[in-house]
Amino acid sequence: MGKIFSTIKENSVSIYRVLIFLTAIAIVVYILPREGKFPYEYSKGKPWKHEMLIAPFDFPVYKSQQELQKERDSILANFRPYFVFDTLKGIEQIHRALLDIENKKEELTKNYPFLEQQTKGNDSTVWYLLKNTLERELTSVYSKGLIHLPETYEDADDAFELILIRNNFAEPSGLSEFHNYQRAYQQISLMLFRQLRDASDVEDIRLDNLISDLQLNKYLEPNIKYDAERTSREREAVLKNISLTSGVVLSGQKIIDTGEIVDEKTAKILDSLKKEYESSLGGGSGYYFILLGQVLLTFLFLTMIYLFLFYFRRDVYNNLLSITFILLMFIGMLLLVRLSRLFEFFPLYIIPFAILPIIIRTFFESRLAFFMHVITILMAAFFTRNSFEFVYMEVPVGLIAIFSLFRMVRREQLVRTSIFIVLTYSAFYSALAILQEGNLKNIDISLYGQFLINGALVFLAYPLIYIFEKAFGFISDVTLVELSDTNHPLLRRLAEKAPGSFQHSLQVGNLAQEAVYKIGGNPLLVRAGAMYHDIGKIVSPIFFTENQNTGFNPHANLDLEKSAQSIIQHIENGVKIARKHKLPEQIIDFIRTHQGTTKARFFYNSYKNEHPGEEPDETKFTYPGPTPFTKETAILMMADAVEAASRSLKTFSDEEIEKVVENIINSQIEENQFVNAPITFREITQVKEVFKQKLKNIYHARIEYPEVKSEVKTSEHNEPQTPPDKPDE
């Protein structure tokens, strides 16, 4: 049992890796729809390439989305909303109006004494005529109906029709049959004015003031109201009654023969057959066969990813976090495709598939990004209705995204990529549509809108990169550019406390970056690593010769072993400072590896010279390591040693520069400093040539300026004239 546990522990990384892939397979299979796959590929406007197709069973011909939408629009245009007639509302308002008038009688008769006079017919007073007329006109208005339209129908004209529910009986009515606020107020006020003027000799202006004081608008409330719930219910019922089919194809009926063009009518029949065929396979025993096929298919695709990482990206293969991230991106895209299949408001072509290659390219490299993009598109094709068209459009988009965003160091690069993606979608769709349709009339303009949305969603890559950096410990080119900025607080501190080390770091960065450009790698990473590789010298800058500008050497008072330890200590100090300031682990790797397991050679050789025949304790003179394990860290180690050695040259001839570069790097090779780094001897030779040329350019010979042998003539003011500046060559 103990042996089993020991074996499991030794192979824990491999076991976890396999479990990650098996989990990914299970999730993808769960996402996939339980439908079979139609065995024929076809495109509208192109010849049928298969044998004669006979209907294998009876099936309905489904209407296209355009047909259904047109039918819905037509029904909704003719749909009449529901309104309810409230009989009690009128009675309440009439009663309230008469009560208010009676309560205000004393005030009104005081202000308008003519109200107590007899009418011209002497049958009653003007006051009772006022009350009777008001009651009669309010009754007339509420009997006919006072309607209020909601905002949805506020622009309706008199031709507008509705369904009026009155006494539980619904009947169609026109809007012109009812009163609105304006018409009701005008009718009541006008009738009051006419009746009172005919019954008395009062001036018109006095009657207008009386009617205004009555505040008739208080008694006008709609008794015909919009029934939103009933309207919505009836609208849904009408829409549900729309037939989804427009005919039936009988079993044994010929659908299409080889070579015939797939026209619009035939395409609709084929789409219907495909839908029925795929859904029919999902039931009974067919469900389990479909599930088995999906498991096998997903297993094969994930195995391809596994083998690609194993053979071509072993660094990613060995990093469980990197594998998890890549598979999460893969699954995330498939989830979006699944959502697109479930919801009509989320069309397929607004999904920004280009985000996957952009982000993977940012953290890894182009080859892996394109491989994962192709695998994702091929898997996603099983969700789509026209797999050929989908793959045909998405693969070029991924390529364009990778080409146009080789290194994302500025935000405007993402804008440019977004534009290229929209143009690529539009160009390939236009070409495919013209090829299939044979004209421009049937091109779906709405798809171009989806392409624009897709391009806009590509901007999500920017915040996602930041999130994934923090979650998975990755580092992007944008972050590397920010870290390389000499205004970074930590670099400012290095420049202030150890100016010599800061200048040394700048020169090392220049050398290393040129070498990476020559043999390949990440130049931004190596430059950022160079800027921070000696950050540990901040703790005791005076112990390093490049910072000793006062003539004081602290090593004079220390024994050689302690001096060596004070120098070696800058590695550990650098790692502590970097972690305290939360620098990425990729940058800390440069701090840890830039001296590898070499020795503090000056103090080691001095000790051997002072103690002949005595073997020194090499651990006290040896850097802790590890040795470089990436191409970038190996190049930085070479550049660091070469730049430091070049400062000790007494003459800067080409021969001396070439000699120091060869000796330094060959010594590192002999000490096995590059055995763990993926760098070849050919690449090391190329690095040497770059260093030699760069150092020659830095320390190139300058011409000697001649001395002035005669006195400089003076001006008329007897002031010496300053000779013109000489160019610095």
**Statement to judge: residues 508 and 641 lie in one domain:** yes
Q: Name the domain boundary from 472, 505, 522.
A: 472
**Statement to judge: residues 197 and 112 lie in one domain:** yes
Q: For the segment 562-591, what is each residue's pLDDT rounded down to a tens digit?
A: 888 888 999 999 999 999 999 999 999 999
Residue 414 has pLDDT above 90, yes or no: no
Structural domain range at position 258: 38-63+243-280
**Statement to judge: residues 370 and 382 lie in one domain:** yes
Task: List Cβ neighbours of 62 (8 Å cut-off, separation of 6 or more).
Answer: 244, 245, 246, 268, 271, 272, 275
Residue 82 counted as domain residue: yes
**Statement to judge: residues 197 and 152 lie in one domain:** yes
Residue 512 counted as domain residue: yes
User: What is the rounded distance in angstroms from the CA atom of residue 413 to the CA atom of residue 109?
Assistant: 83
Residue 714 counted as domain residue: no
Identify which has the larger pLDDT, 714 or 8: 8
**Statement to judge: residues 267 and 150 lie in one domain:** no
User: What is the rounded distance in angstroms from the CA atom of residue 387 to the CA atom of residue 396?
Assistant: 15
Residue 505 has pLDDT above 90, yes or no: yes
263: its two tokens: 């026209």
- Work out the number of other CB atoms within 10 angstroms of the CB of residue 414: 20
**Statement to judge: residues 384 and 303 lie in one domain:** yes
**Statement to judge: residues 544 and 677 lie in one domain:** yes
Residue 370 counted as domain residue: yes
Please give the C-alpha separations between residue 626 and each of 281, 321, 642, 672, in angstroms, as whole numbers: 59, 22, 19, 11
Residue 722 pLDDT class (50, 70, 90 cuts): very low
Q: For the segment 87-126, what is each residue's pLDDT rounded down to a tens digit?
A: 898 899 999 999 988 888 888 888 888 888 887 766 678 8
| Letter string b/e over residues 295-305, b meaning 16 or more CB atoms within 10 A of that residue's CB | eebbeebbeeb
| Letter string b/e over residues 586-599, b meaning 16 or more CB atoms within 10 A of that residue's CB | bbbbbbbbbbbebb
**Statement to judge: residues 539 and 678 lie in one domain:** yes
Q: What pLDDT score was predicted for residue 121?
A: 65
Q: What pLDDT score was predicted for residue 210?
A: 87
Residue 719 counted as domain residue: no
Q: For the segment 16-45, what is each residue's pLDDT rounded down to a tens digit?
A: 999 999 999 999 999 887 666 677 777 777
103: its two tokens: 């309560």
Please say whether the dihedral angle defined by the alpha carbons of residues 456, 462, 467 and 473, taken in this order, is positive or negative: positive
Q: Name the domain boundary from 238, 260, 295.
A: 238
User: What is the rounded distance in angstroms from the CA atom of residue 87 to the CA atom of residue 636?
Assistant: 91
**Statement to judge: residues 614 and 666 lie in one domain:** yes
Residue 715 counted as domain residue: no
**Statement to judge: residues 542 and 649 lie in one domain:** yes
**Statement to judge: residues 50 and 84 lie in one domain:** no
Q: For the segment 49-99, what is each residue's pLDDT rounded down to a tens digit?
A: 788 888 888 888 888 778 888 888 888 888 899 999 998 988 999 999 999
461 φ, ψ (degrees, to nearest 5): -60, -35
**Statement to judge: residues 484 and 452 lie in one domain:** no
Taking alpha carbons only, the member of 385, 382, 387 closest to residue 272 is: 385
Residue 340 counted as domain residue: yes
Domain count, the chain: 4
Measured CA angle at 76 (ends 74, 80), to 5 deg: 125
Please give the C-alpha separations between residue 63 and each of 170, 235, 267, 343, 345, in angstroms, as whole numbers: 33, 20, 11, 18, 19
Q: Name the domain boundary from 402, 437, 472.
A: 472
3-state helix, strand, coil in the chain (%, to 5): 65, 5, 30
201: its two tokens: 């000799």
Residue 71 counted as domain residue: no
